[in-house]
Amino acid sequence: MKIVIVGGVAGGATAAARIRRLDENAQIIVIERTGYVSYANCGLPYYIGGVIENDDDLTLQTPDSFWNRFRIQVRVKQEATDIDVSKKTVTIQELESKKVYEESYDKLILSPGARPVRPDLPGMNHERIFSLRTVEDTFRIRKFVEEQNPKSAVMVGGGFIGLEVAENLCDLGISVTVVQRPNHLMNTLDYDMASMVHAKLRSKGITLKLGKNVIGFEEHADGLNVLLKDDASIQADMVLMATGVSPETTLAKKAGLTLGMKNAIIVNDRMETSVPDIYAVGDAVLVKHAVTGTDALIALAGPANKQGRIAADNICGLDSHYKGSMGSSVIKLFDMTAASTGITEKAAKDAGIAYDRVVLSPLSHAGYYPGARVMTMKVIFEKESLRILGAQIVGCDGVDKRLDVIATAISAGMRADSLKDLDLAYAPPFSSAKDPVNMAGFMIENIATGKIKQFHWDEVENLPKDGSVTLLDARTQREYRYGHVDGFINIPVDDVRERLDELDKSKPVYVMCQSGLRSYIACRILTQNGFDCYNFSGGYRFYQSVISERMSAEQAYACGMDK
């Protein structure tokens, strides 16, 4: 059996190695348009910043190592330009010599990946404007940084690549501005959770221009002017375009394969395309979202690796099926970690799902052990079934661990309240006896069983201020003096029992504290004394983060309009 694989990196390289492990006699040929067949794509921003010092560390496998270990032929700097599905041949061009030849196949795997979106804007082709997708792109950017010593950079786009490069350039002492069209960074997070990411970046000196459109570039003596719609231009020595990626399916379209959303290749759960004996994997394929069951494009290394393995299994006579992706992801930004899985609250709302959510701010490990840091968790679940829809966590240590536990729970079909029952490892340097994941489960159980009712940050400004409800802040007097929400009176939680006569039982009571814990305790006291009580989800710390971000955004918008 002869297998031709178009494209290496995560999906293609994984498929090639898996086929060899299953079939020692197969002839395997990998065609890769770049000079690198298997490399650490996610590590590229860190090479630019010098965190990864040796360029050899970016390369996971080379053509020689593939041949020496697996007897797989890898042909780099060659591009597949056509597929004849009736003859079962691929037309290939050697990019340096321009020689064209045909290669026959019994089975064909397409792993072309995705290409950076480069809007058709005036001045877009300037040599100081970069994209980052390949190892060669990385070398070009690092060479420019080392030789030109830029003092300023603009990142157009606020996704993973743009933010990781922003962090690395900032650490090199370069002044960085991030510009993007949506009003918050990272579409894997909701606005409220992203507010903490915004605050971290601003604290490091990174300027954020959110809700802004780049409309072109102009050269000037010292670099570029980045032109914005309805705002002043930004001078920069270099620009990185990180406005997302789109499936690279030119070859698939020419071959007549069935395409779907954004021209992604439609495959079944065996990674088979609409044409017999042709499989497709990675960033170019349309998958089913594991939570919603809808079509999704998820350009991540983890799913691509799994899909490559599944295609290989099925080519070799096994019966493997792809179960969809939840888009689980994590990013490091300075000393902060942000992670998510499943769908966001916004996505649940847009899909018409009847959902609820809890927000909590536990410590990364036992508070009495040195070094504990606060993390903020948001877990979204379906109201009736308590099916877990997604989770977002922003913090420092231990974020990835908790996110992975919840992703596993989603995959296992666990109810959200069952998170309380998980038997998770505990020692003071690593966790608390009641892990943050357990705490989320306890909170959801309390909501599901009616022990507590909630209100959220986006409902605060609409609470009646006419005296028809009681607004109560259960923090200490000192905390209250340092900042509180207008209209909330202060009765510390430890004093609530003795001061019940100051509250009117005929009025609903909305209770707030710093994190949501003391207000929960106050609500339980009040509820059992005949009050109709609502606990504030996330606490004042969370509220302050979101509102401060909203005020920053409004001020930035006002300044832009003034100009």
The answer to whether 59 touches 37, Cβ cutoff 8 Å, is no
First and final C-alpha spacing in the chain = 66
- CA 215 – CA 254 distance, rounded (Å): 32
Given the residues 42, 170, 316, 513, the one annotated as active site: 42
b/e code 159-197 from CB counts within 10 Å (16+ = b): bbbbbbbbbbbbebebbbbbbbeeebbbbbbbbbbbbbb
- Strands 470-473, 509-512: pairing kind: parallel
Structure tokens of 65? 């190592």
- CA 499 – CA 397 distance, rounded (Å): 40
Q: Tokens 């962090």 belong to which residue? A: 167
Active site residue 42: yes
The single-letter DSSP state of residue 306 is H
State phi, psi for 268 to the nearest 5 degrees.
-90, -175
- Please provide the DSSP assignment of 244-303 as one string: -EEE--HHHHHTT--B-GGGPEE--TT-B-SSTTEEE-GGGEEEEBTTT-SEE----HHH
The single-letter DSSP state of residue 371 is T
The answer to whether 269 touches 321, Cβ cutoff 8 Å, is yes
- CA 232 – CA 211 distance, rounded (Å): 14
The maximal CA–CA distance of the chain, rounded, in angstroms, is 90
Burial of residue 561 (number of CB atoms within 10 Å: 0-12, 13-18, 19+)? exposed
- CA 249 – CA 255 distance, rounded (Å): 10
Structure tokens of 105? 């196949």
Looking at the DSSP bridge assignments, the partners of residue 512 are 473
The one-letter amino acid at 12: G
Based on DSSP, count helices (H) and strands (E) in the chain, helices before strands.
Answer: 14, 33
Within 10 Å of residue 288's Cβ, how many Cβ atoms? 15
- CA 395 – CA 66 distance, rounded (Å): 40
- CA 74 – CA 31 distance, rounded (Å): 6
The single-letter DSSP state of residue 15 is H
The answer to whether 352 touches 415, Cβ cutoff 8 Å, is no
The single-letter DSSP state of residue 358 is E
User: Collapsing DSSP states into helix, strand and coil, what is residue 110?
Assistant: strand
- Strands 329-333, 336-342: pairing kind: antiparallel
Q: Tokens 């300075």 belong to which residue? A: 334
Q: Which residues are catalytic?
A: 42
